[in-house]
Amino acid sequence: MPEPTVVLYELNEVPWRLVDAYVADHPRSTIARLLREGTTWTTVNEDAAHLSPWRTWPTFHRSMYAADHNSFELGQDPATFHGTDLWEPLDEAGVRVGTFGLLQTWPPRKHRSGGFSVPDTFARDAATEPPELGTFQRFNLKMTSENAYSSDAPLSARDLAATGLDLVKRGLTPASAAQLAGHLVKERREPRFQAARPMMQVLPAFDLYWRLHRTHRPRFSAFFTNHVAAMMHRYWGDAVPEYAPAFDYAPDPVFATFCDAAMTLADRQLGRIEKQLQPGDRLVVAASMGQGPIDHRVDTSGLLVLDDGSALARFLGAGPAEQELAMHPMCSLAFDTVDAAARAADQLPRVVDHAGEPLFERIEQQGRSVGFSTRYTAVADDDPRTAHLEADPGALTATYGELGLAVRERMGGSNTAYHIPEGILVDREISSTGQGDVRREINVLDVAPSLLTTVYGIDPPPSMKGGVDGSLFHPTQGAM
């Protein structure tokens, strides 16, 4: 009997609260049907480390928490990662795999069984496997770089045209092209729609992924998307009715549409996947953690943004460095040597403003890379925008500009939602009836070993810390 195909749709940070709101408004949606006909769980991520997706997804994939897998920051030196991703034993066993956009998967892998490997939108370069997706990946990385802080960067007509032709060749559908064009028209008519630009990246990404899936026919295939999470972080307060009275918040009618629109994009993609799968195949929707409401009262009128990491490295006396992509306020610098990275990590906490307050926080060195965050408080009007090393205020002083820092306003205001330990897991076996929408809590560490064992009959690698949960991915109740 042929092995089943498993498609894992990684719906980053989406919690049950948002799923329930969407299903209530869209009872005939694909997501509503998946809940009725599949089986659901609530994943719980009990990591002692700060919850961030570049930590929680390696936890999900490798069945180990951050202290073990050592993935702490975007842009981190991949030589410092530990553990075995769940697709590696599959590939070794001859199961063809394909991964698209999964966090911390650069450099791309050339799987021995075939398949494909397209790294995430924070990759260090545009390398993909197969390599012909490089044009798309270069544009993807450029969009991430230019819109990492605020989604209102000017778009290059030349880049859009050149990339658009390549996207059509690689699998962009007419429906997605029309939706992208329609969004650009919306931006012209109402600039607030620029804030929804990050969700539009999922349209070409999924189309190219699904073309790869149908061409290479992997038996395990995974696609990651952050488009809903990006909208939730900023616009939960606009979309969720109970937020406004609880946090004295004035929702914006345009921003209020973004979360639902983002979920609709995911819903349509899930519907396309479901239609192509065969009886016995599985569609799995997962979030390695969730989001919940937080107080929005953060002044975003002028926050620090690192524009030139090489300038900061020179000030630190750490030698040349490449600034890697990261998610604001996080930053990442890659150095030539471990010693240079160690010097930067030692100096960064000593960089203070005119009042003696540190400009950088959450400093983490891993091999030749250093991750850190800029201070997340608005720069005051009376700030002279100069900094110095704490122990030597006279000898080594620089302006923010000389440090590679800019002060910018953030479109859309401050975040209204942030990470919580509870995620979602939906398992839909095609042509079978699941256990329904039960949402029993499970340890996120148990997902990968359970998938390997129950679906593929492959023993989990010794590095995986979770156990095999007998309720996960168990054969369901037969034909519907």
Q: Please tell me whether residue 220 adopts helix, strand or coil conformation.
A: strand
Alpha-carbon distance 297 to 416, whole Å?
A: 9
| Domain that residue 290 falls in | 6-296+417-456
Question: Residue 1's pLDDT is what?
Answer: 45
The per-residue pLDDT for range 343-364, each reduced to its tens digit, is: 999 999 999 999 999 999 999 9
Residue 458 has pLDDT above 70, yes or no: yes
- What's the CATH number where 264 sits? 3.40.720.10
Question: Residue 470's pLDDT is what?
Answer: 87
Judge if 231 and 133 occupy the same domain. Answer: yes
Q: Residues for the chain: how many in total?
A: 480
Phi, psi dihedrals of residue 314, rounded to the nearest 5°:
-65, -45
Tell me whether residue 462 is in a domain.
no
Tell me whether residue 119 is in a domain.
yes
Tell me whether residue 131 is in a domain.
yes
Question: Residue 392's pLDDT is what?
Answer: 67
Residue 160 has pLDDT above 80, yes or no: no
Question: Residue 296's pLDDT is what?
Answer: 87
Alpha-carbon distance 361 to 344, whole Å?
A: 13
Judge if 386 and 237 occupy the same domain. Answer: no
Judge if 367 and 255 occupy the same domain. Answer: no
Tell me whether residue 358 is in a domain.
yes
Query: What percentage of the chain carries pLDDT values higher than 70?
Result: 94
Strand partners, 117: 99, 129
Judge if 307 and 173 occupy the same domain. Answer: no
Judge if 318 and 270 occupy the same domain. Answer: no
Judge if 35 and 17 occupy the same domain. Answer: yes
Radius of gyration of the chain from Cα atoms? 22
Judge if 326 and 441 occupy the same domain. Answer: no
Residue 156 has pLDDT above 60, yes or no: no
Structurally, the chain folds into a number of domains equal to 2
Query: What percentage of the chain carries pLDDT values higher than 90?
Result: 79
Judge if 308 and 292 occupy the same domain. Answer: no
Strand partners, 282: 6, 429
The per-residue pLDDT for range 262-321, each reduced to its tens digit, is: 999 999 999 999 999 999 999 999 999 999 999 988 888 899 999 999 999 999 999 899
Tell me whether residue 315 is in a domain.
yes
The per-residue pLDDT for range 395-410, each reduced to its tens digit, is: 678 999 999 999 998 8
Q: Which amino acid does the sequence have at 324?
A: E
- The model carries a pTM of 0.92
Q: What is the mean pLDDT of residues 65-85?
A: 96
HSE, side-chain direction, 13 A CA sphere, residue 148: 22
